[in-house]
Amino acid sequence: MRNTIAVAGIVIKELYRRKDFYVLFIVTILICLVMASINIYNDANVVRYIKEVCLDLIWVCTLVVAVTTTARQIPAERENRTLLPLLAKPLTRVELILGKFLGCWLACGLALLCFYLFFGALAASREHHWFLTNYLQAGVMQWFMLGMVVALSLLGSLVFAAPSSNATICFVIIGGILFVGRHLDQEALQLAEPLRGLVLCLYFVLPHLEFYDLRDLVVQNWPPVAWEYIGLALLYAVFYQFIFLIGACLVFRRKAVN
């Protein structure tokens, strides 16, 4: 466990040394402030469009941070020839994978915390009210969703040759699930067999990332989701994180390190 945490610490340090997060964070702030400065018929209480833009940017930025940070972890170690010395230490391959996962996931959590603090401040400046439970639920759900994304990218980094191809494929999969994942079963019914069965299988096998998208509820000030459903969704996320991590460990076990 100590080894895993040590590896995770290095990954987190890498995140705050790199410029990616800062650039994305500053761009988000600038875009949101420009949007907030627009005069909407002299009404200073119009806020939901700013919340929506801000949350959209948070989603895009954190996905970019999660996928790109994770996708380059193991390829970079291999390219720099540091993977072999790393594994020569009392560190197993499973610990390395878990450390990389934990580091990337915690790094995403830190990034998410910064983004949500800004989001909360921005929303409160117009609404004069903190919907703390809603923000907490949205943040936690998004963080667990990012955990699945990180695990998937980690698996991809061991399967695909280059970080760029891995990142592209991950973005396509994530975008596909977020946009059509909820409706795949409806679409399957319009197809002929055996495609119908295949798409239905995919619908039940795919991790439903759209569960974790609470943006509409937060933007439109809906009441918080019942905690029992949040708990079940988090369990579902942990389940898929384990599946991807076990897959990554199995692939890495047979992988040449140099």
Helices marked H in the chain — which ranges? 2-17, 20-36, 48-71, 73-79, 83-88, 93-127, 132-159, 163-180, 184-188, 195-205, 215-219, 227-253
The distance of closest approach from Cβ of residue 50 to other proteins in the complex, given in angstroms and rounded to an integer, is 9
Instruction: Report the residue number, 74 or 112, with the smaller CB distance to other proteins.
Output: 112
Member of 17, 19, 38, 161 binding other proteins (CB under 8 A): 38
Angle CA 140–116–148, to nearest 5: 35
- Residues 150, 66: contact at Cβ < 8 Å? yes
Nearer to other proteins, 63 or 249 (CB): 63
With binding defined as CB under 8 A, does residue 221 bind other proteins?
yes
CB under 8 A: which stretch of 2-10, 114-122, 123-131, 216-224 binds other proteins? Answer: 216-224
Least Å from the CB of residue 201 to other proteins = 13
Give the whole-angstrom CA distance, residue 253 versus residue 76: 18
Closest by Cα among 148, 212, 150, 209 to 181: 209
Q: Confirm if 70 and 111 have CB atoms less than 8 A apart.
A: no
Pick one of 13, 81, 183, 253: the residue that binds other proteins (CB under 8 A): 183
In this chain, which of 111, 122, 214, 248 binds other proteins, going by CB under 8 A? 214
Residues binding other proteins (CB under 8 A): 38, 40-43, 45-49, 141, 180, 182-183, 185-187, 203-204, 208, 210-214, 216-217, 219-223, 225-226, 229, 232-233
